[in-house]
Amino acid sequence: MAKLERKIGYGFGDMASSMFWKIFSYYLPFFYSNVFGLSLLDAGILVMVTRIWDAVSDPVMGIVADRTDTRMGKYRPYLLWFAAPFAICGILLFTTPDFSYAGKLIWAYVTYVLMMTVYTGINVPYGAMLGVVTENPEEKTVFSSYRMFFAYGGSFIALAAWEPLCELFERSFGVSMATSWQLAMVVIAAACLLLFIICFAMTREVVRTKSVVSVGNDFKALLQNRPWWVLIGAALSFNLFNTVRGATVAYFFADVIGADAHMWLFGLSVLFYSGLFLSIGEVANMLGVAMAVPIVARIGKKNTFMAVNLCLMVLSVCFFLLPVSPVGFFLMLMFQIVISILTGIMSPLVWAMYADVADYSEHRFHTASTGLIFSSSSMAQKFGGAIGGAAVLWLLGACGYVTTDAGMVAQPQEAIRCLWALMSFIPAGVAALAFVAIYFYPLTTAKVRSIAEELRLRRNTPQMDIAENFAEINA
């Protein structure tokens, strides 16, 4: 069993990544359209193009990481090498230069592509570490749960602090709205830099694998990996669910809920704003992560995946029926808590299933391509983000949504209806796709345990024999 400090240390890595990722997912589209000054069409194309580049670059980074060999390990060194560039690129991403519209658009593309490239450089190796921090498949679920618990903790801190930080810099220091967003990211970036360094210091790689086949054979094995294909489809749908809802929240609160909405909570009148909605969701995500291990131990990974998405479908449809009133605001918060608990259960589950797929690949194809497998999970996440983020912006643009940095404006009814659909029926449809995809997932609990035991014995086999075995499979 791995030491507790290593599980905590591993969690710090995704705490840093998630602080950035949630700000990107929830606030960056709003930043580009309402602060930076891009049109919804241009902002949507920007999000789509840069996220696709980010997704395509993931397998490349996975291949590079699989073939890295240092005394610090295969994947762990990237936490140290990319920590500072990660923080710097985040600050540049939220910087609004005094350029013409064309110049600002170029700046947005350059900084976004740079940020996502660096994000890939640190996050793909970090994710692949889950395959080498322990040999035990059940303990990988535990490591994954620590990872996601700390990830949601970081998300809670970032989302709860984001709007207050922006307001603090804007009102107390008299800076512009654009500058306040930049300074808020400076604070978040400094925290992420520290967390990545701590993660590097507290973790170790205990499983030593070495890729002894060509890159072409790695890709050939990947394309023949049926569980990988099924999980990619299911995970992409799940990430699309999260992205669509998350990217809509800032718009939904600005134009449906309003800036001065209050609800009664424990006998107190509480301001109901997007930061509260999102940050409470992150706390609920943490509760879901804590529930993941016992639930998976009882009913298995596949059944848990299916049950969660079925519940997400029902709750998303019911969200549409909630009234815009103090009672409705309270119910919206309750729905957010339950939905977030469910997505919290899903998050460590997906990563643990990718670890199982990596073991299946090594067992079936005799190729230790853990980084390539885990990069595909990041690729699915980013494709989901690309499609979801761009779709939200394009749908709003098609429905006549009015962008402005001058405060609230009256939106056309078609745009309001679109916002409601983006918070209810559209996510429900995506959850249905995830449910259908995972139905065909073939790795049962018994199958995974059998693979893990055979790999434990095989990893003592000389590398030359493994290469010869792979050549026999190709023949």
CA nearest neighbour of 11 among 160, 116, 127: 127
pLDDT (0 to 100) of residue 432: 96
**144 has a pLDDT exceeding 50:** yes
Q: Is residue 240 a contact partner of residue 47, using CB atoms and an 8 Å limit?
A: no
| Burial classification of residue 223, based on how many CB atoms lie within 10 Å of its CB (0-12 exposed, 13-18 middle, 19 or more buried) | exposed
Based on C-alpha coordinates, what's the Rg of the chain? 22
For the record, the structure tokens of 427 come out as: 């996510």
Query: What 3-state DSSP class applies to 244?
Result: helix
> Is this prediction's pTM over 0.85?
no
For the record, the structure tokens of 169 come out as: 């810099």
**318 has a pLDDT exceeding 90:** yes
The residue that leads in pLDDT, 412 or 371, is: 412
- What does the alpha-carbon distance between residue 344 and residue 323 come to, in Å, rounded to a whole number? 26
pLDDT grade, residue 102 (50/70/90)?
A: very high
- What does the alpha-carbon distance between residue 86 and residue 192 come to, in Å, rounded to a whole number? 8
Give the helix/strand (H/E) hosting 197. helix 177-202
Task: Write out the CATH class of domain 4-202+215-469.
Answer: mainly alpha
Give the helix/strand (H/E) hosting 360. helix 326-365
- What does the alpha-carbon distance between residue 93 and residue 178 come to, in Å, rounded to a whole number? 12
**199 has a pLDDT exceeding 90:** yes
CA nearest neighbour of 442 among 216, 201, 229, 211: 229
pLDDT (0 to 100) of residue 275: 84
The residue that leads in pLDDT, 164 or 467, is: 164
pLDDT (0 to 100) of residue 214: 63
| Burial classification of residue 114, based on how many CB atoms lie within 10 Å of its CB (0-12 exposed, 13-18 middle, 19 or more buried) | middle
**470 has a pLDDT exceeding 50:** no
Give the helix/strand (H/E) hosting 156. helix 137-167
Percent of the chain exceeding pLDDT 90 equals 45
Range in 179-193, 253-267, 369-383 with the lowest mean pLDDT: 369-383
Q: Taking residues 397-418, what's their average pLDDT?
A: 82
Q: Is residue 415 a contact partner of residue 400, using CB atoms and an 8 Å limit?
A: yes
Which residue type does 330 have?
F
pLDDT grade, residue 471 (50/70/90)?
A: very low
The domain ranges of the chain are 4-202+215-469
Percent of the chain exceeding pLDDT 70 equals 92
For the record, the structure tokens of 26 come out as: 């929830």
Q: Is residue 122 a contact partner of residue 17, using CB atoms and an 8 Å limit?
A: yes
